[in-house]
């Protein structure tokens, strides 16, 4: 019996009253046991948020898959079960045979522990050392905390177009490496990434906020290819990208000559079609940045053409970024430009700004059209059918003109 906290007189009095005196034993946990419990609490939080245990599967979030592997191991190790069963009010441990026995065949000790979010302290698989920082935990929770995207039909064509462009080589994927200098400022609105084996689209970048460490952050709206979305922080997405060594950036589309895959010797270069996105802080531009594009043609260098964009009302008096270019051969530049602008006339941006002299200017080459629709229009220009189409801004697609036949 453990030593009582009462005096001898107190013990005697309580004994006469029929009360057994026994101090509670205080069991101390080893650092290793504390780490195991902390890891199990991550899984319990996931269950509380999603009303289910984490599951395996390539379509699931990388952190959910990590939790699923961790739960399998905790179920299999008797020592862990004995430690955690008193805490398992959600019934997560189940039976040892419920664990996925295939994980030992697919992963060696180090790889398995890496999936668990821990590292091997010794060669013994039961020796666990927790290494995830609190920042990584927050990133994991934010990436896993998703909800159904109510307007996913708006974004699904973007994902379909990206997949088609990757297949055709119009876009490519690039491995992201922290040591290569990938910064949170490289995550911009309208960009696509692959994280945890799933394609995601940065639909919105909110106003800058100051993080506790003094750095700037921003709340994002991220749409996933499986029809879910998350409003995670920019820095959390950056951490998730770093955490996943297979993460990739999907490049912006590029295209070769407008007609054919290569330039023939007798072809006469006519110029370059360029599609620009504005960096203006004008409210109308900010609200529509992902679908607002300038479509133009130049016979010279695109870089030189846009060098002084911030001083030119044609470019909304702001810097711009080039999101797509197409090389043009044997085509009248002015005629092409007029035709494309006529097709997208229903979506022309209506905005009044003033030039550097204070005179009102109405830019004419900016259109509220998704990039994949512009690509489609270029294809129809190539096959000679573009004259039969116009743009429907409500349906966000090209539609055949009533007078086409």
In tens, the pLDDT along 352-404 reads 787 767 777 778 889 999 999 998 998 888 777 887 888 999 989 999 877 65
pLDDT number for residue 275: 93
DSSP per residue over 234-290, as a string?
HHHHHHHHHH-TT-EEEPPP---BSSSSS--TT--EEEEEEEEEE----HHHHHTTT
pLDDT at 21: 47
Model confidence band, residue 183 (pLDDT cutoffs 50, 70, 90): low
- In terms of domains, do 293 and 342 share one? yes
Q: Structure pTM?
A: 0.39
Does the residue 259 lie in any domain? Answer: no
Most confident of 15-19, 262-266, 352-356: 352-356
81, 37 contact by CB (below 8 A): no
106 and 154 within one domain: no
Contact 219, 231 (CB under 8 A): yes
Same domain for 120 and 49, yes or no, is yes
Residue 263 domain-assigned? Answer: no
Structure tokens at 187: 């995550």
Q: Which domain holds residue 232?
A: 148-250
- At which of 102, 132, 162 does a domain end? 132
CA atoms within 13 A on the CB side of 245: 3
pLDDT of residue 264: 47
Band (pLDDT 50/70/90 cuts) for residue 251 is confident
Q: Compute the distance between CA of residue 193 and CA of residue 243 in angstroms, rounded to an integer.
A: 14
- Do residues 241 and 283 both lie within one domain? no
Once rounded to an integer, what is the mean pLDDT over residues 214-227?
A: 86
191: left (phi over 0), alpha (psi -120 to 50) or beta: beta
Cα gap 327→337, rounded to integer Å: 14
Question: How many independent structural domains does the chain possess?
Answer: 3
Q: What is the mean pLDDT of the chain?
A: 76
Q: What are the backbone angles phi and psi of residue 210, rounded to the nearest 5°? A: -95, 120
- 118 and 172 fall within a common domain: no
Please tell me whether residues 225 and 275 are part of one structural domain: no
For residues 155 and 127, state if they share a domain.
no
Residue 299 has pLDDT above 90, yes or no: no
Is 276 in the same domain as 354? yes
Quote the pLDDT of residue 109: 40
């Amino acid at each position: 019996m453990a030593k009582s906290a009462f005096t001898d007189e107190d013990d005697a009095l309580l004994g006469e009253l029929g009360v057994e005196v026994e101090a509670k034993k205080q069991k101390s946990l080893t650092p290793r046991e504390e780490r195991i419990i902390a890891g199990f609490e991550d899984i319990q939080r996931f269950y509380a948020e999603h009303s289910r245990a984490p599951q395996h599967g390539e379509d699931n979030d990388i952190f959910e898959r990590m939790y699923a592997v961790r739960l399998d191991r905790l179920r299999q190790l008797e020592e862990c079960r004995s430690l955690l069963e008193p805490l398992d009010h959600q019934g997560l441990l189940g039976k040892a045979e419920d664990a996925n026995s295939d994980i030992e065949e697919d992963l060696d000790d180090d790889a398995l522990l890496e999936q668990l979010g821990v590292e091997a302290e010794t060669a013994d698989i039961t020796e666990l050392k927790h290494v995830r920082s609190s920042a990584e935990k927050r990133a994991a929770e934010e990436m896993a905390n998703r909800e159904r995207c109510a307007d996913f039909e708006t974004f699904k064509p973007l994902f379909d177009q990206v997949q088609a462009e990757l297949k055709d080589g119009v876009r490519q994927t690039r491995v992201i490496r922290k040591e290569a200098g990938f910064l949170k400022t490289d995550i911009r609105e309208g960009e696509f990434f692959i994280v945890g084996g799933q394609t995601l689209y940065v639909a919105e970048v909110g106003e800058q906020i100051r993080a506790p460490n003094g750095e700037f952050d921003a709340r994002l709206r991220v749409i996933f290819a499986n029809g879910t979305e998350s409003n995670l922080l920019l820095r959390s997405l950056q951490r998730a990208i770093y955490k996943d060594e297979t993460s990739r950036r999907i490049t912006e589309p590029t295209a070769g000559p407008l007609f054919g895959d290569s330039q023939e010797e007798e072809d006469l270069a006519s110029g370059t079609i360029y599609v620009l996105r504005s960096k203006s802080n004008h409210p109308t531009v900010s609200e529509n940045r992902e679908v607002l594009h300038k479509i133009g043609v130049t016979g010279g260098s695109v870089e030189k053409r846009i060098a002084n964009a911030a001083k030119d009302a044609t470019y909304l008096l702001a810097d711009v970024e080039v999101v797509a270019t197409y090389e043009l051969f044997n085509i009248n530049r002015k005629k092409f430009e007029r035709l494309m602008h006529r097709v997208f006339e229903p979506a022309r941006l209506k905005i009044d700004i003033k030039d550097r002299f204070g005179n009102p200017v109405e830019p004419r080459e900016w259109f509220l059209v998704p990039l994949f629709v512009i690509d489609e229009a270029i294809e129809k220009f190539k096959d000679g059918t573009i004259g039969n189409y116009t743009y429907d801004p409500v349906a966000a697609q090209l539609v055949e003109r009533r007078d086409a036949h």
